[in-house]
Structure 1
Amino acid sequence: MAAPHVLALPFPAQGHVIPLMELSHRLVQHGVKVTFVNTELNHALILGALVSKDGSSRLGGVDMVSIPDGLGDGEDRKNLARLAEAFSEVMPGELEKLMGRVSDSSVSAGGEELTWMIADASMAWAFPVARRLGLRVAAFNPSSVAMFAMRMSIPELIRDGVVDEKGLPKRGGTFRLAPAMPPLDTTELSWNRAGDPKGQPVILDLILRNNAATHLAEAVVISSVQELEPGAFALFPEVLTAGPLVSAEYKPAGSFWAEDDSCAAWLDAQPAGSVVYVAFGSFAIFDRAQLVELAEALALTSRPFLWVVRPDSASEQWLEDLRRRAGPCGRIVSWCP
Structure 2
Amino acid sequence: MELSRKLAGHGVEVDFVNTEFNHVLVMEAMAGKGAIPDGIHMLSVPDGLGPGDDHADIGKFVKDLPAAMSGRLEEMNRSRKIKWVIVDVSMSWAMEVATTAGARVASFSTYSAAVFALRMNLPRLIEDGVLDESGNVKGQGNIQMVPPIDPAEIPWISLASTSAPERRRANIQNVLKTNLSMPLAEVVICNTSMELEPDALALLPNALPLGPLVAPTSRPAGHFLPEDLACLA
How far has the Cα of 1:251 moved from its partner? Answer: 4.2
How far has the Cα of 1:250 moved from its partner? Answer: 4.0
User: Could you say which residue in structure 2 is the equivalent of 1:60?
Assistant: 37
Structure 1 residue 190 and structure 2 residue 155: aligned?
Answer: yes
The TM-score normalised by the length of structure 1 is 0.62
Aligned residues: 229
Residues 226-241 of structure 1: matches in 2 within 5 Å? 226-241=194-209
**How far apart are the structure 2 equivalents of 1:141 and 1:230?**
16
Asked if the contact 2:49–2:64 (Cα under 8 Å) also holds between the matched residues in 1, the reply is yes
Deviation string, structure 1 residues 203-247 (Cα, Å, up to 9, x no partner): 222211221101001111100012222221221143100012125
Structure 1 residue 77 and structure 2 residue 55: aligned?
Answer: yes
User: Could you say which residue in structure 2 is the equivalent of 1:26?
Assistant: 6
**How far apart are the structure 1 equivalents of 2:182 and 2:132?**
23
How far has the Cα of 1:117 moved from its partner? Answer: 0.1
Asked if the contact 1:60–1:252 (Cα under 8 Å) also holds between the matched residues in 2, the reply is no
When residues 67 and 131 of structure 1 are mapped into structure 2, their CA distance, relative to the original with a 3 A threshold, is same
Unaligned runs of 5+ in 1: 1-20, 104-112, 268-275, 279-304, 306-337
User: Could you say which residue in structure 2 is the equivalent of 1:40?
Assistant: 20
The TM-score normalised by the length of structure 2 is 0.88
In our comparison, the structure showing a higher alpha carbon Rg is 1
Unaligned runs of 5+ in 2: none
**How far apart are the structure 2 equivalents of 1:190 and 1:237?**
22
User: Could you say which residue in structure 2 is the equivalent of 1:327?
Assistant: none
The one-letter code matched in structure 2 to 1:255 is H
How far has the Cα of 1:100 moved from its partner? Answer: 4.1
Residues 149-298 of structure 1: matches in 2 within 5 Å? 149-177=117-145, 181-195=146-160, 196-246=164-214, 250-257=218-225, 259=226, 276-277=230-231
Deviation string, structure 1 residues 35-56 (Cα, Å, up to 9, x no partner): 0011101111111222429xx9
SS in 2 for 1:92: helix
SS in 1 for 2:180: helix
Asked if the contact 1:49–1:255 (Cα under 8 Å) also holds between the matched residues in 2, the reply is yes
**How far apart are the structure 1 equivalents of 2:135 and 2:119?**
11
**How far apart are the structure 2 equivalents of 1:136 and 1:144?**
24
How far has the Cα of 1:249 moved from its partner? Answer: 7.3
Using CA pairs below 8 Å that are at least 6 residues apart, which structure has the higher relative contact order? 2
Identity %: 41
How far has the Cα of 1:60 moved from its partner? Answer: 1.5
SS in 1 for 2:130: coil
Asked if the contact 1:194–1:200 (Cα under 8 Å) also holds between the matched residues in 2, the reply is yes
How far has the Cα of 1:176 moved from its partner? Answer: 1.0
**How far apart are the structure 2 equivalents of 1:154 and 1:249?**
36
When residues 161 and 116 of structure 1 are mapped into structure 2, their CA distance, relative to the original with a 3 A threshold, is same
The one-letter code matched in structure 1 to 2:2 is E
User: Could you say which residue in structure 2 is the equivalent of 1:15?
Assistant: none
**How far apart are the structure 2 equivalents of 1:194 and 1:93?**
30
SS in 1 for 2:44: strand
SS in 2 for 1:41: helix
Asked if the contact 1:60–1:251 (Cα under 8 Å) also holds between the matched residues in 2, the reply is no
How far has the Cα of 1:193 moved from its partner? Answer: 2.5
